[in-house]
Amino acid sequence: MSKAIPLQNANVIPLHEANALVLPLAEGATLRVTPFRETPRVALSIFGPGGGDAGGVILTPSRARLLASWLVMTADQCEGTRPATRPPGHGPVIPLR
């Protein structure tokens, strides 16, 4: 089990990242997508240029797919291959359940 690192009012638990997908970002930062082994969750983490944790979010598979569809839709709009509209029922905020 990983050791928890205290951070103000939260705990940061380093993930096993052998199977993480890493996308280099500007200024040496990285975006990491890591599937959990024990539960159906996906971690989306941002690491700063010096390797420090800059934040992140843990998503269920359905939320990860929704985020992926929004990224594809937005990328298509940026390239002009899709009109700038939202799919029905997909507002800017989705309530947590």
pLDDT value of residue 97? 44
> For the residues of 40-66, what is the DSSP string, one character each?
S-EEEEEE-TTS-EEEEEEE-HHHHHH
End-to-end CA distance of the chain: 28
- pLDDT tens for the chain, 97 residues long, are 445 555 556 555 555 567 888 889 888 888 999 998 888 999 998 888 876 777 889 999 999 999 998 888 888 888 887 666 665 555 555 444 4
Which residues partner with 32 through β-bridges?
A: 22, 45
Q: From residue 64, how far is each of 40, 60, 71, 79, 87 by CA, in Å? A: 11, 6, 11, 23, 17
pLDDT value of residue 60? 94
pLDDT value of residue 2? 47
What does pTM read for this prediction? 0.63
pLDDT value of residue 73? 85
pLDDT value of residue 11? 56
